[in-house]
Amino acid sequence: MGKELIHTYRLFLKDSIRKVIDFSQTDQNRGIAPPPIEKPYPKDAKRIDLPQYDQLKKVSGIDLKTAINNRKSRRSYSHQPLSMEELSFLLWATQGIKQKLDDGHALRTVPSAGCRHAFETYLCILNVQGLDQGIYRYLPLEHQLLFEFTEEHLSKRMSQAVFGQSYPEVAAVTFIWTTIPYRMEWRYGIAAHKVIAIDVGHVCQNLYLACEAIGAGTCAMAAYDQEVIDELLRIDGQDEFTIYLASVGKC
């Protein structure tokens, strides 16, 4: 690969772009209202309550020092299902909302550049107590699950979407984070994309530590077939697309 091409791609990791952007022209500074915190859903959609943060007593796990020390990528899982409390804890730890500030801003359990939180969390649920297999979406404002749809051969399709990596097939749940880039572009214009990539790392790191705390394991996945996974989720692949995944199961 040519040096010039490499240098072009490396630019993505730098912040030089900030000095050439006219920030007065971003949608935020032009007075356009912020996009919604959470992707809208049909009023009659099936929603499932998750145990609230203060009800998660059963999942008080190990101390933080031990969790950090034990953290590793775990690709073997037992057949034990994840409980609703445990799933609720993992969702709270990764994208939970602590305080809604206004219609466009909320403070969460993870940091985000400009408090933009440009992600949605989809779940490919295969083995969670009380839930049918299917694709769900986390609604952080309501702390609920939205049932999206189910598919035949879901576990196989999940594995195919990550180029045949096999552990999502036996995982209790695979977290699939999509980005809605406009949430970040609204504030940062074309300087939005690097910080989106940084932000999703925070989300997944919290998943690793939260899994350790409840005797579960996770493995991040950035090797996936973009078009296949976006099609599986039934999202448009332009204004919303997959950015990162992680499978979770009990150890």
Residues that bind ligand FMN (CB under 6 A): 72-73, 165, 219-223
Shortest distance in whole angstroms from residue 111 CB to ligand FMN: 17
Nearer to ligand FMN, 21 or 197 (CB): 197
Question: Tokens representing 85?
Answer: 């409390």
Q: Is 200 helix (H, G, I), strand (E, B) or coil?
A: helix
Q: DSSP letter for 33, please.
A: P
Amino acid identity, position 202? H
CB closer to ligand FMN out of 145 and 233: 233
**Smallest distance from ligand FMN to CB 183, Å:** 21
The CB density around residue 18, as the number of other CB atoms within 10 Å, is: 13
The DSSP line for 100-124 is EEETTEEEESS--GGG---EEEEEE
For ligand FMN, the closer of residues 47 and 202 by Cβ is 202
Nearer to ligand FMN, 70 or 78 (CB): 70
3-class state of residue 20 by DSSP: coil
Cβ neighbors of 18 (< 8 A, separation 6 or more) are: 191
CB-CB contact of 172 with 129 (8 Å): no
CB of 162 to ligand FMN, least distance (A): 7
Beta strands in 63-222 (DSSP E): 97-102, 105-108, 119-125, 134-139, 144-149, 173-179, 216-221
Instruction: Report the residue number, 37 or 211, with the smaller CB distance to ligand FMN.
Output: 211
C-beta closer to ligand FMN: residue 64 or 223: 223
Residue 232: is it exposed, middle or buried by C-beta count within 10 angstroms (0-12/13-18/19+)?
buried
Q: Which is nearer to ligand FMN, 29 or 69 (CB)?
A: 69
Min dist. Cβ of residue 142 to ligand FMN (A): 29
**DSSP 8-state assignment for residue 51:** -
| Shortest Cβ 72–ligand FMN spacing (Å) | 3
Q: How far apart are CA 173 and CA 223, in angstroms?
A: 17
CB 86, min distance to ligand FMN, A = 21
Shortest Å distance, C-beta 81 to ligand FMN = 23
